[in-house]
Amino acid sequence: MKFKNIKSMVVALCATALISCETTSETFAEFSTIPEVIYIGKADSVMVSHGYEELELGIRFNSDPKITAGMVLIDGTDSSKFEITRKNDGVDTAYHKFAIPEGQYSLAVYMLDDDGNKSVSKEVAAISYGPNYQSVLLARKVNSVSIASDSLSVKWATADPVSGIVSSQITYPDASGSTVTVVVPNDETETKIGDFQAGRTLEVQSFYHPTESAYYDFPSEVDEHAIPE
């Protein structure tokens, strides 16, 4: 009787072991079909520079050799992709310039490998500047235009650097009738011109950067001033 009980217990244990093995095999097979996750190094930092309805991103990324491209997701919908050619084996920087209408945006920057695997995103807010910004820009104020000792004197009001003004220019006809343009730096308070035509008109225009990282000179409206007789 005891022998039969022992025999039954052995059969039961074998059956349990067999079921356990089958379950383990099935579980392994199930997990083995899950695709391997490929991790790509993310962007360390993103610097935004501004053009006219255009942005340029300076994207600093790590030494992950799998990184061969990047992608910018704009407000979670539109995307702009770019290729990366490494210049350094370690930390490197890629630059990507793309057109974008004037407005405020939320950008998500991803790094990619050759198979399209992407990194965790690097989020950055950005503003694109265009015609609306440019429409409110004013030419640097001129305090006076006068002739003294056969020279034309243009005296300037102080240029406010906080406004983003980077320089100004005056355009006028010389004695022969040719058009001449002179660049006026912000710190210049008086511009003297020896070769000009009296009784004509000179034009003043200024140029602005909305941010310190802007690479486009946004022109102001043009102001006209009479040259005395």
Q: How many CB atoms sit inside 10 A of residue 127's CB?
A: 15
pLDDT tens string 157-211: 999 989 999 999 999 999 999 999 999 999 999 999 999 999 999 999 999 999 9
Say if pTM beats, i.e. exceeds, 0.75. yes
Please determine, for residue 18, whether its predicted confidence score (pLDDT) is greater than 70: no
pLDDT tens string 42-96: 999 999 999 999 999 999 999 999 999 999 999 998 889 999 998 888 999 999 9
Q: Exposed/middle/buried for 15, CB within 10 Å: 0-12, 13-18, 19+? A: exposed
Tell me the residue type at 40: I
Q: Which residues, other chains included, contact 205 with Cβ-Cβ below 8 Å and sequence gap of 6+?
A: 139, 168, 169, 171, 219, 220, 221, 222, 223
Please give the pLDDT value at position 34. 57
